[in-house]
Chains A and B, each alone.
Chain A
C-alpha cells in the first residue's frame, strides 16, 4: 500500500529548479532509500515530505505531496501535526544540551503530549526500549545526553521521534557521522522499525541503501531516474544511468 505519493513535484530554490516533475510512490511499512550524487535533490525531496523546505525563504513548490490521501502542500495543513506524524532524524545526532530525560520530554512538551508523570515515563521507557537503549540508560536518565556515544545519541534522536508516535520517519544520512560498527547497529534498528513505520532514508552510501532498504529510488539532477525494489535496482536496473551510478562509473 502506498503511504506517500508525489505528483508532478517541482521545487525551485529561487530560479534554480531542484526537483523536476518528481513522481514517486513510497510504500507503507517498508524502508525506501533515495540515492544519487550530491546535489541530485534527494534531501530536498525528503524535506518535502514534512515540509521542512518551508523554512527556506526562496523555495517555491509546485505539484503534490500526498500522505494518506491528503495533499500536505495544501496551505491549510497543520504543520505541527504533520511533523508529529512525519518524524525526522538528521545527519548528526542533534541532541539538546540537556539530560537524556529532558531530551525525550522536550518533544512531548512542544507537541503538547505531556500526560501524567507515569504516562510520560511509560512512553520514555517504550521509546528507549524500542531503540535498544532502555537497559543501558534507565539508571542514568539524568545524565547529559551529550555524554553518550554518537551512536547512542543517534538512537536517542530516533527514540525522541518514536515517542511522538509518528507514521513516517525520514532519515537524512543518519549514519554519516558514525563508525562502521555503529552504522551497522543503526541499520539493524531500522530493519526492526520497518515493521511499524514507513522509513525513508537518504544516503550517499550506496552499500547502505543496498543493505538496508526494501525499495530504492535513484535521482539525478533533480529527476527521479528509476524507482523499484532494491533487489531489482541492485541486480538488474532498468535504466542504464542507474547501472552506471551504482557500479561507480560516475557520481
Chain B
C-alpha cells in the first residue's frame, strides 16, 4: 500500500479527536456533578484540567499544520484535516464552558441552591450524548447521523428555556434569590452552548463525508 505512514498519521488524528472529546465529556460531566454537590475541590480540579484540554488542542493543531505542510493533502485527506482543525476548536471551547460551570460552583460556594437541579443534569446528559454520538459519526464519516444529531439540539434549547423560565419565576417571587439563581442560568447557558457546538462538529462531519459546506441548524428556537 502506498502512503502507509501518511494513513497512520491520519488515523492518529482520528484517535486524537476521540481522546480529546473524552476529556471534554469528563470535564462537562464532572462540572455538573460538582454543581450538584457544590464541591469546590472538584471544581478546582476541573479548572486545572482545562489547561490540558487547551494544550491538547494546540498539539493536534500542530500535527495538522505539519501534515498540510509536508504531505500536501488533497480531496478527502484535505477535508479531514480541515475538519479536525475545526473540531478541536469546538472541543476546546466546550472545555471552556465546562470550566465556566466549575467557576460558577466556586462562585456559589456553600450557599444552598434555590432549587434541586433537575433540568440542568438533563441538559448535561443530552449534550454529552450528542457529543459522543457526533464523534462516533465522525469516525464513521456518517453524514446522516450527524444531520440527525443537529435536530436534537432543539431538546437542549427547550430544556434551557425551561430552566430560565423556572428560575425567573423564583427570582420574581423572591428577589433575594437573584444572586443564587442567576449563576444557575449561566450554567444552563454553558450547557446549551456545548450542544450548539456539537452541531458545528456535525456540520464538519457532513463536509468531511460529502464535501458540502453548509449550516445544518434546523432549529425552531
User: How far does the alpha carbon of A184 sit from the alpha carbon of B1 in the complex, in Å?
Assistant: 9
User: How far does the alpha carbon of A187 sit from the alpha carbon of B3 in the complex, in Å?
Assistant: 8
From A34-42, A139-147, A219-227, A229-237, the one touching the partner chain is A229-237
- Chain A residue contacts of B72, Cβ below 8 A: 207, 210-211
- Chain A residue contacts of B2, Cβ below 8 A: 181, 184-185, 188
Q: Given A207-B72, A210-B71, A211-B71, are A231 and B66 also a contact pair (CB < 8 Å)? A: yes
Is B214 interfacial (CB-CB < 8 Å)?
no
Closest chain B CB from A12 CB (angstroms):
35
Considering the complex, give the chain B residue whose CB is closest to the CB of A188: B4
Task: Give the secondary structure class of B's interface.
Answer: helix
Closest chain A CB from B88 CB (angstroms):
17
Is A51 interfacial (CB-CB < 8 Å)?
no
Task: Give the secondary structure class of A's interface.
Answer: helix
Q: Which of A188, A231, A235 contacts B3 (CB 8 A)?
A: A188
Is B65 interfacial (CB-CB < 8 Å)?
yes
- CB-based contact B70/A211 at 8 Å: yes
The interface bits of chain A over 173-191 (1 if a CB of B lies within 8 angstroms of the residue's CB, else 0) are: 0000000010011011001
Is B220 interfacial (CB-CB < 8 Å)?
no
Q: Which of A191, A231, A234 contacts B5 (CB 8 A)?
A: A191
Closest chain B CB from A180 CB (angstroms):
9
Closest chain A CB from B170 CB (angstroms):
54
User: How far does the alpha carbon of A234 sit from the alpha carbon of B66 in the complex, in Å?
Assistant: 8
The interface bits of chain A over 207-251 (1 if a CB of B lies within 8 angstroms of the residue's CB, else 0) are: 100110000000000000000001100110000000000000000
User: How far does the alpha carbon of A181 sit from the alpha carbon of B3 in the complex, in Å?
Assistant: 9
- CB-based contact B66/A235 at 8 Å: yes
- Chain A residue contacts of B69, Cβ below 8 A: 210, 231, 234-235
Closest chain A CB from B55 CB (angstroms):
18
A–B pairs, 11, beta carbons within 8 Å: A181-B2, A184-B3, A187-B3, A210-B70, A210-B71, A211-B6, A231-B69, A234-B66, A234-B70, A235-B65, A235-B69
